[in-house]
Amino acid sequence: MVGGIGASLLLPAMQSLIHGNFEGAAQKKAYALVGAAAAIAAAVGPLLGGFITTYLSWRIGFLLEVVIIAIVLSNIRLVHDAPYTGPRGVDVVGAVLSVLGMGGVVLGILVWQEGGEAVAALLAIGAIALAGLVFWLARRKRQEKPTLLDPQLFESKHFRLGISQQLLQQIALGGTMIALPIYLQMVLEYNAMQAGLSIAPLSLSMFGMAVLAGRRTGTRRPSSIIRLGFALLTGGMLLLIPIVPRADSGWYLLVPLVIAGAGLGLLVSQLNNYTLAPISEERVSEAAGVNSAGGSFGLSFGLAFAGAIMLATLSVTFTNMAQASSVLEPGEKQRVATALEDDAQVLSNTQLDEQLVGQPEDVQAEIIRINTDARPLALQVALLVPILAGLLGLFNSFRMMRLPEIKPSGSVEAMGLG
């Protein structure tokens, strides 16, 4: 929890520093480089984490995080601060409502995923808290009191669209990053290292395209680059749908992941700059915080929702296939369906085979068949989450194209980055 709070503070702080220290085209390049750095971290993270988990211990991963933080802190004097001159009052009620709202929605999905109770209550609390937050912020603004965030930020169409696109991009990324590793480890029976290598093309192409876009966008409109990014992201995800049932190794995923990663790279190189460009200097810290919160919520939602959809599909498919089986006896069907719902959804076929020792061979073979047939379908359904997010982002990008472009406020030469 403490680490999550730290990360939520770092993201808006970095965006504010970029906005305060760079202008014009140099600012675009800085945002693109930060996006590229995030992309390469996404590439190295699964590989390094997979290596540590497979060959050492997961505890080593936390130790390495401490080392990385120490390196960052040792160079903190190199960071040029961008002073904040706005009001410093704290909106406690707004903060509580935001936590209850976003937390309630994500927690409700996670509880549903685990088959827990009170799912509807948690989702209702989240929805009511978010509605209450909107009302509270508007009221505080009318009373000219400090607010968690200024509702007037959303009067800018560029900012509204940028936030929504950031949310959708992160939902797509989160949904992809939860569904594919589960598929690789449970269906293809890869260890963490092999799974990390298999999804590396997504992150590596994301990094390469973010760097390239930061250097070569020229006079192209950010909205047109964002439109292409969502088109590539959606196309790559759609290509995975027919491949999933036929894949017997991670190599089958290479081309779709490269295409989707290229789309994500274009998005991370442009979205932050597009969203914060219309914001004045004195309000950019607040806007960056909203931008980061939207992205973090989108990532959490994508992870939770895609995982929940995947497991729910497995549960329904297990039950239907068991009931339709001509091999299982009537008395065994419900027992097998219940067992598969509770256990098999988190087991590979090899692990499941070990659990079936002592069962008749025909029953073992039938349960393995059900397990094998259900999982590709579950992944295909889970991939609908990033596909739908990509399609919505593509639709929004056409709305962005109709808005006038915001001109850079300075020159590359003035920043020394030409």
Per DSSP, 281 falls in state: G
Q: What is the per-residue pLDDT for 412?
A: 33
Mean per-residue pLDDT, 328-354: 64
Q: What is the per-residue pLDDT for 38?
A: 62
Give 338's contacts (C-beta < 8 A, 6+ positions apart): none
pLDDT of 67 > 60? The answer is: yes
What single letter denotes the amino acid at residue 175? Answer: G
Distance between CA atoms of 316 and 337, rounded to whole angstroms? 9
Distance between CA atoms of 19 and 73, rounded to whole angstroms? 21
pLDDT band at 182 (very low <50, low <70, confident <90, very high): confident
pLDDT tens, position by position, 374-403: 888 888 999 999 999 999 999 999 999 888
More confident residue, 344 or 189: 189
Residue identified by tokens 């009511």 is 128
Give 388's contacts (C-beta < 8 A, 6+ positions apart): none
Distance between CA atoms of 395 and 398, rounded to whole angstroms? 6
- Tell me the percentage of the chain whose pLDDT exceeds 90: 14
Within 13 A of 383's CA, how many CA atoms are on the CB side?
26
CB 19 within 8 A of CB 284: yes
Q: What is the per-residue pLDDT for 26?
A: 60
Q: How far is CA 152 from CA 138, 141, 235, in A?
A: 9, 9, 36
Mean per-residue pLDDT, 283-291: 74
Distance between CA atoms of 293 and 101, rounded to whole angstroms? 12
Most confidently predicted of 53-62, 69-78, 153-162, 341-350? 153-162
Cα dihedral 357, 359, 365, 366, rounded to 10, equals -130
Q: Which two tokens stand for residue 29?
A: 């390049």
In order, the DSSP letters of 326-360 are SSS-HHHHHHHHHHHHHTGGG--HHHHHHHTTTS-
pTM for the model stands at 0.78
pLDDT of 273 > 90? The answer is: no
Mean per-residue pLDDT, 316-335: 74
List phi, psi (to 5°) of 77: -70, -15
Residues written for the chain = 418
